[in-house]
């Protein structure tokens, strides 16, 4: 796309935007004067859909009216309302999806099954600089199995003087590890740099050496067009409070490829993963559901799922291809304006990305504080990065243009 360094270009793109009406479906933050702020923090917490309140109130009304009777009339299968919508979102078969728990809990549950180290094959591979919670989970899993993270954890890092991990370097590292490699767990998008990884290439190579391959899609779900089934990914998990706009602490989704559904290996078992037809017979022997639902432990957190259901209906209506296309254009426009107007600002995010740009700005934290005072909501990541993420469902090209003007004034006075 050809961009222009003018406000009139931004205004025209807003008029042409096929998703422009979706902004009205979200509550948009305002400052003390009642004016809209610029909210570019959907990579940390998405805005609230206006429909959320009615979705929650519906469940509250049922609880008020029927008490426990609501369990069997509605809530027992409430999570199933999210399965098809979520499958469409991440490119999966319905049987490969379930929403449950929180993200790191789900990563632990998945690693119980898909990290099975033994004397020969015990290595697990991640990207250098993975989200800290992923690092904690993986290291604790290694130690749980009696191994040493210093010996079993392989971290792939960028080449010298680069922030980007080349796909060819990942492929080479996987092939070099070979039979020693038990599991690969990469981010779909690195939280710090905003780099989107090549899921298909990583999966093909990892499975060729006999490793399980999974992804933490916290910064990819609702941001990128995903094809988990066709990429042959073994497992994945993601949160829903970032790009998916389901609210603080909203439940996580998981994907488990259908080839694993007749599972006889290790997993932690719970009541809600048991065969639905006999679940309430209260038998003592576990009979796992032969879909991703077999990995469930407990019944659905209905009040947490209701906001997610409200948001997922919006995503289903808009469609991920359209959402991704606008996100790519918004971020491209942002990158263009920075390069044209602020050559002193470094963009460390590569072109393989989603909605996020990670910026290294002269003045660092002091500049971040200045733009915050100017009613810009983005975030700071130590040691030197401002993360900026315009969301295609509620942000505009005009806001991108205004942000760069404010950033320029904050840097240059």
Q: Residue 5: exposed, middle, or buried by beta-carbon count in 10 A (0-12, 13-18, 19+)?
A: middle
Taking a C-beta distance cutoff of 8 angstroms, is the pair 290, 274 a contact?
no
Beta sheet of 212-216, edge-to-edge order = 97-100, 252-256, 235-238, 212-216, 181-187, 123-127, 153-156
Secondary structure (3-state) at 127: strand
SS3 content of the chain, % helix, strand, coil (to 5): 45, 15, 40
Q: Where are the alpha helices (DSSP H) in 291-360?
A: 302-318, 320-341
Joined together, the tokens standing for residue 118 give 């033994």
The pLDDT assigned to 155 comes to 97
DSSP letter for 182, please: E
Q: How many CB atoms lie within 10 A of CB 164?
A: 16
DSSP letters of 140-159? HHHHHTT--HHHHEEEE-PP
Q: Which pTM was predicted?
A: 0.96
Q: Please give the chain's pLDDT, 413 residues, in tens.
A: 899 999 999 999 999 999 999 999 999 999 999 999 999 999 999 999 999 999 999 999 999 999 999 998 999 999 999 999 999 999 999 999 999 999 999 999 999 999 999 999 999 999 999 999 999 999 999 999 999 999 999 999 999 889 999 999 999 999 999 999 999 999 999 999 999 999 999 999 999 999 999 999 999 999 999 999 999 999 999 999 999 999 999 999 999 999 999 999 999 999 999 999 999 999 999 999 999 999 999 999 999 999 999 999 999 999 999 999 999 999 999 999 999 999 999 999 999 999 999 999 988 899 999 999 999 999 999 988 999 999 999 999 999 999 999 999 999 98
Q: Measure the CA–CA gap between 205 and 170, rounded to whole angstroms.
A: 9
**Sheet with 346-347, side-by-side order of all strands:** 346-347, 357-360, 385-388, 379-381
CB 28 within 8 A of CB 377: no
β-pair type (212-216, 181-187) = parallel
**What are the φ and ψ backbone dihedral angles of 391, each rounded to 5 degrees?**
-90, 130
Q: What is the largest CA-CA distance in the chain?
A: 71
The pair of structure tokens assigned to 323 is 């959402």
Judge whether 228 and 78 are in contact, CB under 8 Å.
no
Q: Rg of the chain's alpha carbons, rounded to an integer?
A: 22
CB-CB contact of 393 with 380 (8 Å): no
Q: What is the pLDDT of residue 47?
A: 98
DSSP for residue 355: S
**Domains of the chain and CATH, by start:** 7-36+319-412 (3.90.1150.10), 55-317 (3.40.640.10)
Q: Which helix (H) or strand (E) holds 53?
A: helix 52-66
How does DSSP classify residue 25?
G
Q: Where are the alpha helices (DSSP H) in 115-269?
A: 132-144, 149-152, 167-177, 199-208
Distance CA 302, CA 251 (A): 10
Q: Is 141 exposed, middle or buried (0-12, 13-18, 19+ CB in 10 A)?
A: buried
- For 331-363, letters b (16+ CB in 10 Å) and e give bbbbbbbbeebbeebbbbbbeebbbbbbbebee
pLDDT of residue 161: 87
End-to-end CA distance of the chain: 31
Question: Cβ atoms within 10 A of the Cβ of 82, count?
Answer: 23
CA distance 199 to 214: 9
For residue 413, the model assigns a pLDDT of: 80
Instruction: Count how many residues are written for the chain.
Output: 413
Q: What is the pLDDT of residue 48?
A: 98
CA dihedral 93, 99, 103, 104 (to 10 degrees): -90
């Amino acid at each position: 796309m050809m961009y222009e360094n003018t406000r009139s270009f931004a205004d025209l793109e807003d008029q042409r935007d096929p998703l422009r009406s979706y902004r009205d479906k979200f509550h948009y933050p305002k400052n003390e004067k009642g004016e809209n702020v610029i909210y570019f923090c959907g990579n940390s917490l998405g805005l609230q859909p206006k429909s959320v309140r009615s979705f929650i109130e519906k469940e509250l009304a049922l609880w008020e009216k029927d008490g426990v009777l609501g369990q069997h009339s509605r809530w027992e299968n409430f999570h199933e309302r999210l399965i098809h919508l979520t499958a469409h979102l991440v490119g999966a078969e319905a049987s490969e999806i379930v929403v449950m728990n929180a993200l790191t809990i789900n990563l632990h549950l998945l690693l119980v099954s898909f990290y099975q180290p033994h004397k020969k094959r015990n290595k697990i591979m991640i990207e250098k600089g993975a989200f800290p919670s992923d690092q904690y989970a993986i290291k604790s899993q290694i130690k749980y199995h009696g191994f040493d993270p210093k010996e079993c954890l392989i971290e792939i890092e960028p080449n010298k003087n680069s922030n980007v991990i080349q796909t060819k370097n990942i492929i080479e590292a996987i092939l070099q590890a070979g039979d020693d490699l038990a599991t690969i767990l990469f981010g779909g998008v690195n939280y710090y740099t905003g780099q989107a990884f090549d899921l298909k290439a990583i999966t093909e190579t990892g499975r060729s050496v006999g490793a399980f391959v999974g992804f933490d899609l916290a910064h990819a779900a609702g941001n990128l067009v995903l094809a988990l089934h066709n990429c042959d990914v073994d497992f994945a998990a993601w949160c829903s409070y970032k790009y998916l706009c389901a609210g603080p602490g909203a439940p996580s989704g998981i994907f488990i490829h259908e080839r694993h559904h007749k599972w006889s290996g290790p997993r932690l078992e719970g009541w809600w993963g048991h065969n639905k037809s006999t679940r309430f017979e209260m038998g003592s022997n576990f009979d796992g559901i032969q879909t991703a639902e077999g990995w469930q432990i407990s019944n659905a957190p209905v009040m947490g799922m209701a906001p997610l259901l409200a948001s997922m209906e919006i995503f289903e209506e808009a469609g991920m291809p359209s959402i991704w296309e606008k996100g790519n254009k918004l971020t491209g426009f942002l990158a263009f304006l920075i390069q044209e107007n602020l050559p002193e600002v470094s963009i460390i995010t590569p072109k393989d990305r989603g909605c996020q740009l990670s910026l290294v700005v002269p003045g660092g934290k002091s500049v971040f504080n200045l733009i915050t005072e100017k009613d810009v909501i983005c975030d700071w990541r130590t040691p030197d990065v401002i993360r900026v993420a315009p969301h295609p469902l509620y942000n505009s090209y005009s806001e991108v243009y205004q942000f760069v003007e404010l950033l320029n004034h904050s840097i240059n006075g």
